[in-house]
Amino acid sequence: MILVSGATGFLGSELVNQLTAQHLKVRALKRNSSKIPELLKNNPLVEWYNADINEPEDLADAFEGITAVYHCAAFVSFDPKDKKKLFKVNIEGTGNIVDLCLEKQIRLLHVSSVAALGDAKKDELITEQHFWEYDPKVHAYAISKYEGEMEVWRGVAEGLDAVIVNPSVIIGKNAGFDGSGAIFKLVKDGLKFYTDGATGLVDIEDVAKCMISLMQSSITGQRYILSAQNLDYKTFFAQIAKGFGIKAPSIEAKPWMLGLAWRGAKLASLFTGKAPALTKDAARSSFNHSYYSNQKVSAALNFQFRPIEQSITEVCKALK
């Protein structure tokens, strides 16, 4: 039986859906408070199991009879207040998964992030050879994903059979308006601004397909960037606007403008008690020019990613 952590999440649920489509049985981990996604309700090949990756004893019971583990569970936040939780879930939780896979000699596929790769030099593609270097300005999420990945490399050094994937920004209709879907909502609601930045994008179905292919291969001790295409934010937002049939954002936001915006959002959060809509780390990240290479995974799996414009169109259609 296959174990999937974070099975109720955006990526985890798509992965479980694809695994069961291959008639594979899955033990899907969820927290007590998590809801089963519509995509997976009444699926007879899914065995739901309540366990927290930060509770080793409960987690150990979930590993009984397991032959392969996909570790998708993670906490995502750019709010500095969440630093402790980011480290607890993304580093300690991953360490617990690694220790159990080592103990029981189970193959692991770990979902890291391009955030763990660091920055390339100007006009240089980021590849699997890049590693994050300490930067006092980097956000806690990037640190947590880097250190979480280091837990897996520690396991590999101790004999763990593992593969790591580093997805870029994952998009897909089942995200709704959460996660990457929040970008679609901003544009749909009439966003007028874009930033001078760029990033990689990938369809969620492609991410899950690559993960399954890598797990079922003989590849071990390797990491793979999963990214279909690099887009600057102006183009990305324009393609979303086209999908919704509305006017594209046309005003370039300068750093000082976002500086005012995140400070205003922080002040507003003091009165509302809610997390700020924009944080300093998120604002700064929106000006990064990050371009990723998918050459390694494309060659290893003979895989062709879906055109990202097609994915954007499908997401917009689902969210109209």
d(CA 163, CA 296): 13
* Strand, helix or coil for residue 29: strand
d(CA 134, CA 136): 7
Domain boundaries, the chain: 2-176+201-228+292-305
Report the predicted TM-score, pTM, of the whole model to 2 decimal places: 0.91
Contact 164, 222 (CB under 8 A): yes
Examine the pLDDT at 256 and tell me if it is beyond 80. no
Of 207, 136, 214, 204, the residue nearest 172 (C-alpha) = 204
* Strand, helix or coil for residue 222: strand
d(CA 313, CA 103): 45
d(CA 145, CA 135): 14
Cα-based torsion angle of the residue sequence 252, 257, 259, 261 in order, rounded to the nearest 10 degrees: -100
- For 2-176+201-228+292-305, CATH number out of 3.30.950.10, 3.40.50.1970, 3.40.50.720, 1.10.240.10 equals 3.40.50.720
105-131, pLDDT tens digit by residue?
A: 999 999 999 988 877 666 789 999 887
Q: What are the backbone dihedrals phi and psi of residue 132, each rounded to the nearest 5 degrees, phi first?
A: -60, 135
pLDDT in the model for residue 86: 92
208-238, pLDDT tens digit by residue?
A: 999 999 999 999 999 999 999 999 999 999 9
- How does strand 68-71 pair with strand 193-195? unpaired
How far does Cα 220 stand from its chain's mean position? Answer: 21
